[in-house]
Amino acid sequence: MQRVNLENWTYTRYENKNFIALITFGADPESLQTDEFQYYVTVIQDEEKEIFQSSFDSVSEACLFLNANYGDWTLNDQTAKKSGCSTCAAH
């Protein structure tokens, strides 16, 4: 079974109906002082409403949490070629 991992976390996500679970990165005021990133597992509803977010110090920890909690959802590779009119970014 394919999972989100250290090689694919930037372009894969889990989807379940109108929910998306993914890893993003950023910083908070404390981590900015030490030039460190924070990794966030975020669940979004309808591609705009944040439902849940949890912060991790490493991408490995974020991957483990994401897979443990959302690994039964459909894995979506955002780099995979899609076809048809409904896949157009304009829609």
pTM of this structure: 0.82
pLDDT on residue 77: 95
Whether the predicted pLDDT of 85 surpasses 70: no
Band of the pLDDT at 48, cuts 50, 70, 90? very high
Q: CB-side exposure of 40: number of CA atoms within 13 Å? A: 12
For 21-33, the pLDDT digits (tens) are 999 999 888 877 8
Q: Are 63 and 70 in contact (CB under 8 A)?
A: no
pLDDT on residue 58: 95
How many angstroms separate the Cα of 7 from the Cα of each of 12, 18, 60, 79? 10, 26, 10, 13
Round to whole Å and give the CA distance between 91 and 88. Answer: 6
